[in-house]
Amino acid sequence: MPSRYLRPIDYSRMLAGWLVVLLLPDRLPAAVLLIAVVAVIMFCAFGVVTQAEKLAGILGDPLGSLVLTLSIVIIEVILIVAVMLGPGQAPTIARDSVMAVSMIILALVTGLSLLVGGIRHGGMDHNGTGTRTYLSLIAVMATTTFALPHLLGTGGAYGSLQAVLVAVSTLALYTFFLRRQLGAQAGDFREPDTGGDRHEEHAVSGHLEVALRISVLIITVLPIVVLSHRMAAAMDSVLGDLGAPPALAGMVIAVIVFLPETITALRASWDGRTQRMSNLVHGALVSTVGLTIPTVLLIGVLGDRAVVLGETPANLVILGLAVVVSMAVFSGRRVNAVHGAALLMIFGIYMMALLS
């Protein structure tokens, strides 16, 4: 690898992640195993953030943000599908995972980002058109995913024909959105008053650095996902000993998987780059639903697997509140710390419901 692009710590993160994947024994006490795995995941996550930020500087937004988003989301889809096709029965795995990710992104990460950025900068400008585009798609996809199965399906699940229609229409909408985001409407997803993308670095660095950094990002992020399986087993044991609800393990795993985007979003808000933050968090949720739901529905139809998507009334109310408040927050020209505090309260309500 060309050493002028990478630092020793970049190699260390790749090596550490894969060494732990291959060599860490499973017979360690659950608490010790959990601490070790989480530490390595955090170490690798910072490496993913480093490569993503370099790519964002080279490619500019929205493409730079999209690289990190899709790398994480595609791996998340693989994880969900692996559980679906495993020996156990997990008909609600897609629903539970996407719901957890939705609340983490809409309420926790966005709330923290606005709180941090608002305290440092006061009111922050954003590109309202791009953010509202994300939120419109989230509202449509969330309703189709979590609410309609109760009305059109049986037991919270779509019938086979309904599942195919929902999968195809969701994937078509997401594909059309990506084409517009990277093409005719790219300006809607850039920081306001920047005058366009920053391609200076790209002209100097060339395609080699882009390909290299994408490769390093993938090599560094894969151990995070592989280790999340082992972390889940250890966490189930630790939470069981503490008497905590099993659903909390899924929430913690979702936080860890999306940690790279969380860190980058917080840094963007710290620098006052609100649209960059929105591209990361809201774009991640659009990609999560746009790729996960069609995949699991089609696999359910082809493999004759039950896929339950319908959510509980309490979660539907909380998710709806998060979407409505997000739309209100980003309907104005500026966002601030109070908006972030309101979203964090919604996440607290969700956690209360989860632990009840």
Tokens of 78: 């693989």
Residue type, 101: V
Q: Supply the DSSP string of 169-221, one letter for each residue.
A: HHHHHHHHHHHHHHTTTGGGGS-TTS-S---HHHHHHHHHHHHHHHHHHHHHH
Closest of 265, 47, 298 to residue 171, by C-alpha? 298
Q: How far are the Cα atoms of 55, 56, 57 from residue 200, in angstroms, in the given order? A: 12, 12, 9
Q: What are 334's strand-pairing partners? A: 125
Residue type, 191: E
Q: What pLDDT digit, counting tens, does each position of 224-235 carry?
A: 878 877 777 777
Q: Can you tell me the distance from the alpha carbon of 293 to that of 73, in angstroms, rounded to the nearest whole number? A: 12
Q: Terminus-to-terminus CA distance in the chain, angstroms?
A: 51
Of all residues in the chain, the percent with pLDDT exceeding 70 is: 90
Q: Can you tell me the distance from the alpha carbon of 117 to that of 336, in angstroms, rounded to the nearest whole number? A: 7
Q: How far are the Cα atoms of 11, 125, 192, 194, 249 from residue 36, in angstroms, in the given order? A: 19, 40, 42, 43, 16
Q: Can you tell me the distance from the alpha carbon of 258 to that of 68, in angstroms, rounded to the nearest whole number? A: 10
Q: Can you tell me the distance from the alpha carbon of 149 to that of 308, in angstroms, rounded to the nearest whole number? A: 8
Long-range contacts of 151-155 (CB under 8 A, 24+ apart): 153/310, 155/308, 155/310
Q: How many CA atoms lie within 13 A of 355 on its CB side?
A: 10
pLDDT tens across the length of the chain (356 residues): 455 788 899 999 999 999 999 998 878 898 898 899 889 988 988 888 788 778 877 877 677 777 777 777 777 777 677 666 655 566 777 888 889 889 999 999 999 999 999 999 988 988 888 999 999 999 999 999 999 998 887 788 999 999 999 999 999 999 999 999 988 888 888 877 644 444 444 444 567 888 888 889 889 888 887 887 777 777 777 877 887 765 676 677 777 777 777 888 898 899 999 988 998 899 989 998 998 899 989 988 998 888 899 999 999 999 999 999 999 999 988 999 999 999 999 999 999 998 87
